[in-house]
Every structure is written in structure tokens, then in C-alpha cells.
Amino acid sequence: MKKVFTQSALLFFIMTCLLTFQFAQKAHSADSAKPYRIGIVTPTLSASEDEFRGAVRVSEKYPNMIKHLSLPENFQDEQETAITQILSLGDQKDIKAIIICAGYSGILPAIEKIKKKRPDMVVITAPIWDDPDMMAKYIDLCLDTDWVKRGITIPEKAKKMGAKTFIHYSFPTHMAKEVLSKRRDMMKQTSESLGMKFVHINTPDPTTGAGSTPMLQFLQEDISRQIAKYGKDTCIFGTNCPMQDVIIAKALELKFIMAEQCCPTPTQGFPAAMELEISQKDAGNFDKINAMIKDKAKAEGCTGRLSTWPVPVGYFFPEFSTEVAMQMIDGKLKGLTIENLTPIAKQVAGVDVYFDKMKPELNNYFLIIMDSVFY
């Protein structure tokens, strides 16, 4: 009888523990569910893959909490429709934050209207390209890549990778853009201060005549000439996205240095030049994509000669902005300072992310540079 009672008591104890655990789990789940939603605005998948996939990743990370809205395919022609879409997020009372990762100008009027109607709404842009001073007035946090500072960081990285010459390929319409010409000038100054020879070469302009074809054909022929002249310890940089496929393919062939593309991401140039087969399932798996690139670089004898940022900034911004917005809404973020933003950024990116003010007087507009992955 005593043995039966002991077994019954043990069974009762186990059942009680299980029920208590299940109740605790449900309570924890209820506690962890946020009583609000966050709207994320991006271009469509075909217009800007990184931002779209970044928003999808956040939606999967926080199910039922994210409202993902895609702007019209042709934003400039359908700007009024886009503004109406963004305003609709402000009309939904359970939405407490709006994150706009679009890279367009003309969005600020929608944000102004939302902020006047709902001043408590957290708004983060990552990025939009309206007037910086007006943006800083109405937007809680403005983010963008530090395109000009890359004129320092890319040559510095190239030097560490062993470059003795830095070649900058571009064309007249690109050099007419202030941010690109400033970056070129900074690359020249930095290269020379580090003891590297700086060479600027104009390609055929893809915005005129026959498009990109003459430019790409020129690169195919000219890169070989330049490497024959300056040697393999040469870093090649091109200012145009279509250039990257050719530059990386030639780097595999000639073993020169490619420190960073015009848009630093594992998905620009590398998959096409390396003939990598990336499945739809792995499209946002950058650990796997970086491993594939590293393996291919090793197989081609280019280890240490290729580099970029480990994740696209467009993919990084939606998740980082969401984490910041949640901490702001929950009262956990004590000020939008570089010191407070840096650890959140590292947790999301997996590497150090460096922030700098867009202007000294703007305390909520930051530009970023990300640490690199070397293949």
C-alpha cells in the first residue's frame, strides 16, 4: 500500500509540474507579445530586393506584429499613391512606429502629416532622401550609409589587403554627382597619404549612347592592361553597379584586389561572377552566402583579395530600425545616441557598425560604416 501511495504521489507531482510549466509558458508568451504593431515601408522585391527581404525577415522574426507595405513600382510617377499608403499606416491606432526603408525623395510630406496628427508615432527612415534639416525636424531617427566617408575606409582597407595602386573607374555623369566626386577626391587623398598610387580612369558613359555594353567591354579590356602595368597588388574600384560583375570576374582571373563594390554587399557581383547557385530559400542567408563566396575565392587562389560588408545595408536597416523602434516604444532606449545605438547594430549585423552625425548640429541623423568580411 505504501508503495502504491508513493507512486501515486509521484505521478501527481509530475502532473502538477507539467501543468505549472505549461501555464508559465503561456504566461511568458502572453507577456512577450507586444500590444502594438510596427509598419515597415519598402520598395517592391523587383525594385529593391535587399530592403524587401529585410522587411520579410523582420516579419518572420516577429509574426503578427509587422505590417509590411510595398510602395508602387514606379515611385516617381505614383508619388501621391505612395503618400496615401504611408498615411494609411498612421490611421491604424495599433501601429506605434513607422519605418521607411525606401531610398526615395518626396516622402517627407507624408511624415509631416502623420507627426502632426500623431506626435507619439515613432518614425525612422533608413533612408529617404529629402532635405536633411527638415527630416531631422519631423523624423525621430534618420539613417543612411556614409557614402563619402567610404572614400577613406575603402583605400585604408585596400592598403591593409596589400594594395600599392588604387584604380578608380567612373564616367562623366557619375562624376557630376557631388557625393561621388567628393568620395573620389577623398579616395585620391587617402590613397596618396598611405603611399598608394591613385589612378582615375573614365569609361564610356552608360547613360548615353548604347548603354552599359561599351562600358563593360572597355572594362574587360582595360583592367587587363592596368594589371599588366601596375601588377596584382592593385585595388580596382568602380562607381557603377553593372561594373561589379566584370571587376570581380577579372579579379578571379588576374588575382588583383577588390576591397569593396560601389554598394557593399555579398549579393552584388559575387554570385554572377562566381556562378553561385543561391536557392530562393537561402536568398537572405548571408552566413551561407559568405561561406560560398569564401570557398570559391579559395578555389580560385584569391583568398584575402576580395572583401565587402557581410550583409547589405538595405537588409540590415529594417531589422535594426525595428529593434530601435521597439526599445523606444517600450521605454528601454534612453536617448538616440551613438553609444546606445551601437550595441543594437552589432547584435543585428554580427559585426561592428560605426555611426557618425550627418551634420554636427543634427542629433538624430546618423550615417553608418560597417565592418567587413574578407574572403
With cut-offs at 50, 70 and 90, classify the pLDDT of residue 7: low
For residue 240, which of 184, 282, 195, 197 has the smallest C-alpha distance?
184
Q: Is the pLDDT of residue 24 over 60?
A: no
260 has pLDDT over 70: yes
In percent, how much of the chain has pLDDT > 70?
Answer: 91
SS3 22: helix
Q: Which regions of the chain does DSSP assign to beta strands (E)?
A: 37-42, 66-70, 95-100, 122-125, 141-145, 165-170, 197-202, 234-238, 307-308, 353-357, 365-370, 373-374
Shared fold status for 37-146+314-370 and 150-308: yes
Domain locations along the chain: 37-146+314-370, 150-308
d(CA 341, CA 336): 7
CA distance 108 to 128: 8
In CATH, the number for domain 37-146+314-370 is 3.40.50.11400
Q: What residues are paired with 37 via a beta bridge?
A: 95
Rounded average pLDDT over 263-268: 95
Is pLDDT of 10 > 60? Answer: no
Residue 283 makes CB contacts below 8 A (sequence gap 6+) with 49, 53
Q: What letter represents residue 109's amino acid?
A: P
10 vs 298, higher pLDDT:
298
Q: Which three cell numbers stand for residue 45?
A: 522585391
Instruction: Please tell me the predicted confidence (pLDDT) of residue 23.
Output: 38
306 pLDDT higher than 90:
yes
Residue 144 confidence class, pLDDT cut points 50, 70, 90: very high
Taking 3-state DSSP, the helix, strand and coil percentages for the chain, each rounded to the nearest 5, stand at: 50, 15, 35
CATH class of 150-308: alpha beta
Average pLDDT over residues 208-221: 94
DSSP type of residue 60: H
Mean pLDDT of 259-285: 94
- φ and ψ at 369, to 5 degrees? -130, 140
Pick the range with the lowest mean pLDDT from 72-76, 272-276, 314-318, 363-367: 72-76
pLDDT of res. 284: 87
Give the C-alpha separation, 120 to 11, whole Å: 53
**pTM of the model as a whole:** 0.87
DSSP state of 258: B
